[in-house]
Structure 1
Amino acid sequence: MFALTDVKKTYQQKGRTVHALAGVTLEIPRGQLVAIQGSTGGGKTTLLQMLGALDRPTSGTVILDGQEISKLGDRKLADVRAKQLGFVFQHYNLIPTLTAQENVEMGLAPLGPKPEERKQRAAEALASVGLADRGDHLPGELSGGQQQRVSIARALAKRPQVLLADEPTGNLDEATRDDIMGLFESLWREGLTIVMVTHDSAVARRAERRLHISGGKLTEK
């Protein structure tokens, strides 16, 4: 699914060069559930951005499903993000004035499906995360765990090849965290490739594969 070869990312900060990624080589086969851990500033979010076609490396190559995305232009990168990747973040990023159903439908806008298809795919995605009966609720009427499920449904409605999650349980209590991880495990068992960044070792231990990044260097745990 992913193949990264000697990926480096440097940038300037207050007159000094920061090596966010220092020669990362990594393969992630289709169908894995991968957790990436590391301290703040260690490079884990930068790595996720490379996998998510949100940034380009300073050098090295990033290949997704046989296509070298590290060399694509902005328009083609946007197309990859829209059609192949689903994103879940620590903050749910839901529009407070829209219902759960409408929030999920909004995530399909870049794909341009007809209104009836958009409505059906959103309803199916909400049902897949256990919220079939919450589609008409506003975010403020939902718990934190339910809001995160809506954001997961928004990502799933695109029918992505990969789900990328950045601290997806960071705002949740322990019980709700375990509930969301149970959902991720179910999606993984159904064949979805999932890569998540987390600071929580209890979350990482439930992944099929654990990676650690520090100082821009990646190791297996």
Structure 2
Amino acid sequence: MYRLTGVTKRYARGEKAVDALDGVDLTIEDGERLVVQGPTGGGKSTLLQMLGGLDRPTSGGVELDGTDLARLSEAKLTRLRAEKIGFVFQSFNLVPTLTAQENVETALVPLGVGTRERRRRAAEALEAVGLGERLGHLPGEMSGGQQQRVAIARALVKQPRVLLADEPTGNLDESTRDEIMEVLEGQWTAHGLTFVLVTHDSSIARRATRVATIRGGRLTTEERSVAEGNRADG
């Protein structure tokens, strides 16, 4: 699915150059779930941007199904994101003047899906995340957890192969965090997605069998059995 080779991302800060990613090598298999942890400014979100084709590396390759994202034109990269990659962010990024159903439909517009089909698929996606009775509600009429469920439905309605989540529970309380993680993990299982999640929350990292840690732009990975994750939670 993904293969990153020698990926470096360098930013200029005044007269200094800072490497947000420093020679990162990483393989993510089709259908795998990977949790990425690390301190603020360590390169977690930069890595996710590379995987999502939202930014290009200074050097190195980011391959998705054998295609190097860094070498695609902006038009082809935009199309690939629209077709293959779903994004979930900490801040929900919902349009406040659109209903839940309309927010979900926005993901299908770039794909040229007709109005009737968009409505049907959006309703099904919201039903799948437990919001079948909230189709006509505006974001301001929903709780934070419900808004994040809408964002998850929007990410998945286009039936992507990859789901990328950047601190998806960062704005939620502990109880709602657990509910959202159950939704995300349920959708990952149901659809056979490749799922990469960035988090500061160690309790979320303990739910995964593979964890990557980024510090100072350098990445290490740890493999764990399900039993180890369960012991950590207990």
Q: Indicate the TM-score class for this superposition, using the shorter chain for normalisation.
A: over 0.9
Asked whether the equivalents of residues 32 and 208 of structure 1 are also in contact (C-alpha less than 8 Å), the reply is no
Q: CA deviation at 1:184?
A: 1.4
Q: TM-score, normalised by structure 1?
A: 0.98
SS of 2:158 mapped into structure 1: coil
Asked whether the equivalents of residues 4 and 25 of structure 2 are also in contact (C-alpha less than 8 Å), the reply is yes
- Mapping 1:92-111, distance limit 5 Å: 92-111=92-111
Residues 38-92 of structure 1: per-residue CA shift (max 9 Å, x gap): 1111011110000000011111111101211121111111111111100000001
Matches of 1:169 and 1:183, distance apart in 2 = 12
Q: CA deviation at 1:174?
A: 0.1
| One-letter amino acid of the counterpart of residue 203, structure 1 | I
CA RMSD of aligned residues (A): 0.9
Matches of 1:195 and 1:208, distance apart in 2 = 12
Asked whether the equivalents of residues 152 and 184 of structure 2 are also in contact (C-alpha less than 8 Å), the reply is no
Asked whether the equivalents of residues 94 and 139 of structure 2 are also in contact (C-alpha less than 8 Å), the reply is yes
| 2:200 corresponds to | 199
Q: CA deviation at 1:215?
A: 0.6
SS of 1:6 mapped into structure 2: strand
SS of 2:118 mapped into structure 1: helix
Q: Percent identity?
A: 62
Q: TM-score, normalised by structure 2?
A: 0.92
**Structure 1 gap ranges (5+):** none
| 2:163 corresponds to | 163
SS of 2:106 mapped into structure 1: helix
Asked whether the equivalents of residues 32 and 188 of structure 1 are also in contact (C-alpha less than 8 Å), the reply is no
| 1:189 corresponds to | 189
Q: RCO higher in 1 or 2 (8 Å CA, sep ≥ 6)?
A: 1
Report runs of 4+ in structure 1 exceeding 2 Å deviation: none
Q: CA deviation at 1:208?
A: 2.9
Matches of 2:108 and 2:114, distance apart in 1 = 10
How many pairs were matched up?
221
| 1:134 corresponds to | 134
Asked whether the equivalents of residues 100 and 150 of structure 2 are also in contact (C-alpha less than 8 Å), the reply is yes
Matches of 1:116 and 1:207, distance apart in 2 = 38
